[in-house]
A and B are shown apart, each in its own frame.
Chain A
Amino acid sequence: MKILVCISHVPDTTSKINFVESDTKFDTNGVQYIINPNDEFGLTRAMWFKEKEGAEVDVINVGGAETESTLRKALAIGADTAIRVNTEALEASQVAQEIVAVIKTREYDLVIAGRESIDYNGGMVPGMIAAMIDASYVNNCVSLEISGDKATAVREIDGGKETLTTSLPLVIGGQKGLVEESDLKIPNMRGIMMARKKQLNVIEPSGATTKATTVNYEKPAPKGEVKLVDAANVDELINLLHNEANVI
């Protein structure tokens, strides 16, 4: 089985979000980058298929040279080969097209992406890839088993879960649950040493078109101070929620 894991390179959750150049660019100053959390769950699930079933695992990122540290981390966790499509990721449809161009040359049985990235929060890349290559597709995937060319997946739905059966090739939008958090792999020394010898192939973009552009960013208006209500006076809270906030 050949697996491709799509890796988005995102600011650590605790990063300060600021913008520069008249609010047109994200301020990367002092920002620590990580593997998008949803992708980390997917990558660890891919490692399980590698260890138990001898799957080959490639990781891919569409982005500039600055994302290579994140791809190296994925190699240190155990991916076999990394691919970087050398172009700035501008929006989901362009990213999906670039990933599809790579998929067409290498033919994967399973493509794992995250249900959404924590920076752009688009939640579109896995579905777009599935539609472009006409593969089976499961979003919000919290469990995945594969046997031969059949797959059983669990999808989180509003208010519960749904168990699905499908066939490969398959694209999933994965999230927490694919593996337990305690099973997430932290690269060890040996992994880091081995990652240095693994291939990180840089390939040129296919020239995908974009369908959307970011004009500029805006920070939410600073929030007012919290209104504190005395613990002995919950009536006042009810009054505020009813008359001031109009929510009850």
Chain B
Amino acid sequence: MSVLIYAETEGGKVKKVAFEVASYGKAVADQMGCEVTAVAFNASDADVLGSYGINKVMNISHEGNFDAKIYASGIQQAAEQLGASVVVVSSSADSRYLSPLVAVGLNAGYATNVVSAPSSLAPFTVKRSVFTNKAFTHAEITSENKIIGVSNNAFGSVENKVACTVEEFTVSLASSSVNVASVDKATDKVTIADAEVVVSGGRGLKGPENWHMIEDLAEVLGAATACSKPVSDMGWRPHSEHVGQTGKPVASNLYIAIGVSGAIQHLAGINSSKVKVVINSDPEAPFFKAADYGIVGDAFEVVPQLIEKLKAFKAQA
């Protein structure tokens, strides 16, 4: 009986999202009365996971790009060697890509978008969000092996320092049928998936020439920038920034929407963000019904002030 978590890395470093996954794994392990082990690829700083309750890291060295099939085979073998019946993964695009493969390999039931620790172990029941965050379901995983995909920022990182050993895990990985020809990725920007704060602009900003406001605000807050669908459709912003039901999901701690009306398809993608702020000149805009805080006003007046005041606030903090 054991719990395994998959700790994602980037450029040889454990990603922040892994701390939440580790914290979740630790909570399940405590419920089960067992230890929690992590599997990672090319992690040079794997022992940081000890701060989140991980006792042991099985580190796999692999040259080359991320590949769902190869990584899935490594995770599966780690679970098998450990005899882990519960595997915990994140909701990142890569984790969602490889986890169905691990699930088939381990003959495991897999629940995605899980928002809290199991409410019971026998039967094994978790709460997950469904209907694009308009409801939750309590799902029972009935198979012996189980995979839990934790919804971003739903459980949070819980510090819990333990002694952590890192071992090299040597396995023969699957061969891939997919080759990466090229990667086009902005490395200097916070991504929507990793961001704790997201600043998003809609059609109310009138044109791409006004986006410096969004970027400046994002910069003060260390936030990622996002936009509504029409904004990316019109080519004001790249498609990778489009959030909502047909775009990227956002589960940040803070989501600031500026000049976004709050159409149901937009809200569907951002509803699991914890705190939502809207700045809109129309008091009837539907976003005010979904938001926690709001300012009725002209973005062109409010946002520059907000940027100045936040700079002052950050400077004194």
Contacts and interface: CB of A to CB of B under 8 A. Distances in A.
A120 to B, nearest CB: 6
Given A130-B101, A159-B194, A215-B139, 7 more contacts: A131-B103, A158-B191, A159-B187, A211-B110, A231-B301, A247-B254, A248-B310
Interface of B: 65, 68-69, 72, 92-94, 96-101, 103-105, 108-113, 125, 127, 129-143, 177-187, 189, 191-194, 196-197, 221, 233, 239-240, 245-247, 253-254, 264-265, 268, 274-275, 277-278, 288-298, 301-302, 305-306, 309-310, 313
A226 B100 contact: no
A92 interface: yes
A231 B283 CA distance: 12
A44 to B, nearest CB: 14
Interface in A136-185: 136-140, 142, 152, 156-167, 175-177, 181
A213 B140 contact: yes
A13 B99 contact: no
A234 interface: yes
Interface residues of A, number: 78
Interface string A117-132: 0111111111110111
Contact of A226 (B92, B99, B183, B294): B294
For the residues of B in contact with A, the DSSP-based class is mixed
A130 B246 CA distance: 23
A226 B289 contact: yes
28 contacts: A19-B135, A37-B246, A118-B245, A119-B130, A131-B101, A137-B68, A158-B94, A160-B186, A164-B178, A165-B178, A166-B179, A176-B247, A212-B139, A213-B140, A213-B142, A214-B138, A214-B139, A215-B139, A215-B140, A218-B137, A220-B136, A223-B290, A226-B292, A227-B292, A231-B296, A234-B309, A247-B196, A248-B221
Given A121-B130, A152-B181, A165-B181, A241 B245 contact: no
A161 B240 contact: yes
Give the top 5 A-B pairs by smallest Cβ distance, nearest first. A127-B100, A231-B297, A211-B109, A160-B185, A159-B191
A131 B69 CA distance: 9
B293 A156 contact: no
A217 B306 contact: no
A223 B94 CA distance: 32
A238 B194 CA distance: 23
A196 interface: no
B137 A139 contact: no
Nearest to A122: B112
B181 A118 contact: no
A102 interface: no
Interface string A230-248: 1100110110111001011
Nearest to B268: A13
A189 interface: no
A127 B101 contact: yes
A22 interface: no
A136 B132 contact: no
A126 B97 CA distance: 9
A165 B178 CA distance: 6
Contact of B130 (A120, A131, A160, A161): A120
A199 interface: no
B286 to A, nearest CB: 11
Contact of A234 (B130, B139, B240, B302): B302
B309 A159 contact: no
Contacts of A167: 177
Contacts of A166: 177-179
Contact of A140 (B93, B137, B277): B93
Contacts of B125: 215
A234 B293 CA distance: 11
B112 A159 contact: no
Interface in A5-61: 11, 13-14, 17, 19, 37-38
A224 B291 CA distance: 9
Contacts of A156: 93, 240
A20 to B, nearest CB: 13
B309 A235 contact: yes
B56 to A, nearest CB: 27
Contacts of B100: 92, 123-128, 130-131
Contacts of A231: 295-298, 301-302
A14 B253 CA distance: 25
A161 B192 CA distance: 14
Contacts of A14: 264
B142 A210 contact: yes
